[in-house]
Structure 1
Amino acid sequence: MPTITKIFTMQEASQHSSKDDCWIVVDGKVYDVSSYLDEHPGGDDVVLAATGKDATDDFEDAGHSREAMELLETFCIGELDNSSSTAIPELEISSKTSSENYGQKLLDLSKQYWAVPVAVIGISVVVGFIVLRKK
């Protein structure tokens, strides 16, 4: 008889983030570890910090033993729905209206910050004259 696997979204899994109701996501699977929190060798706060996100990296970075991985499988309640995951939104570099004024903005910035290099050169020239005059 085939096992029916429940499919969860990350949003559903992240709603279970308390000590009494704690789900984590590791390697695309959803685990209800609520009953194990008090027994976790690293403390319940470590597990609670991994809720609401994909905890695969956290789980692997902790260096869990094979026994720990097998124990985790006993808490599996389903899989993560990857088809509904939202794509990372594309970053808008500049809008069309601001790209038209890009040259002007660059010119304004160059006018605004001309004083620092001129001051450095001026101070260098003055110190050079003082040093040469003392010799």
Structure 2
Amino acid sequence: MPTLTKLYTMQEASQHNTKGNCWVVIDGKVYDVSTYLDDHPGGDDVLLDATGRDATEDFEDAGHSKTAREEMEAFCIGELDTTSLDIPELEIFSKNQPTDYPKKLVDLTKRYWAVPAAVVGISVVVAVLHLRKK
């Protein structure tokens, strides 16, 4: 008799994101790794950062061994329900929407004033040193 697999939504999985209650989604499967956080070779923060999203790419990029893949099956609690994937709403901008580019440029300049100031300062120092050598 086949075992029934529990289905979880990404929203459900993302709600389990604390050190005492941590779920991770990898390859469409949901894993409760709460009891494994302290034993994870990469540290608990790696697993905690993987909650709330599909961590398959992160898992593959880390180059886990065959043994690690076999061990993680013990933590599998179900599968991701792909029939109810949440699709984020897109923001639609009208072509007639007013844009105030000069104001945005001034705001960016005010926020990141240190970079141009550093460039000017370094240029002045280089120029003075160059003139002294002559």
TM-score by length of 1: 0.67
Structure 2 residue aligned with 1:116: none
Identical residues among aligned pairs (%): 62
Structure 2 residue aligned with 1:78: 78
Instruction: Write the distance in 1 (CA, Å) between the matches of 2:72 and 2:54.
Output: 15
The 5-angstrom pairing of residues 38-57 of structure 1 reads 38-57=38-57
Q: Once the 2 structures are TM-superposed, how far is the Cα of residue 91 of structure 1 from its aligned partner?
A: 4.4
Instruction: Write the distance in 1 (CA, Å) between the matches of 2:19 and 2:88.
Output: 30
How many residues get paired? 100
The 5-angstrom pairing of residues 83-122 of structure 1 reads 83-94=83-94, 98=96
Instruction: Write the distance in 2 (CA, Å) between the matches of 1:11 and 1:87.
Output: 11
In structure 1, what residue type is equivalent to 2:89? P
- Structure 1 SS opposite 2:35: helix
Higher Rg: 1
Structure 2 residue aligned with 1:13: 13
TM-score by length of 2: 0.68
Give structure 1 regions of 4+ aligned residues with deviation exceeding 6 angstroms. Answer: none
Q: Once the 2 structures are TM-superposed, how far is the Cα of residue 71 of structure 1 from its aligned partner?
A: 0.9
Q: Once the 2 structures are TM-superposed, how far is the Cα of residue 31 of structure 1 from its aligned partner?
A: 0.3
Q: Once the 2 structures are TM-superposed, how far is the Cα of residue 88 of structure 1 from its aligned partner?
A: 4.2
Unmatched runs of 5 consecutive residues or more in structure 2: 103-134
Deviations 1:26-78 (A, max 9, x none): 01110001111111011111111111111111111111001111111111100
- Structure 2 SS opposite 1:37: helix
In structure 1, what residue type is equivalent to 2:5? T
Query: Does residue 35 of structure 1 match 2:35?
Result: yes
CA RMSD of aligned residues (A): 1.9
Instruction: Write the distance in 1 (CA, Å) between the matches of 2:67 and 2:77.
Output: 19
Structure 1 residue aligned with 2:58: 58
In structure 1, what residue type is equivalent to 2:53? K
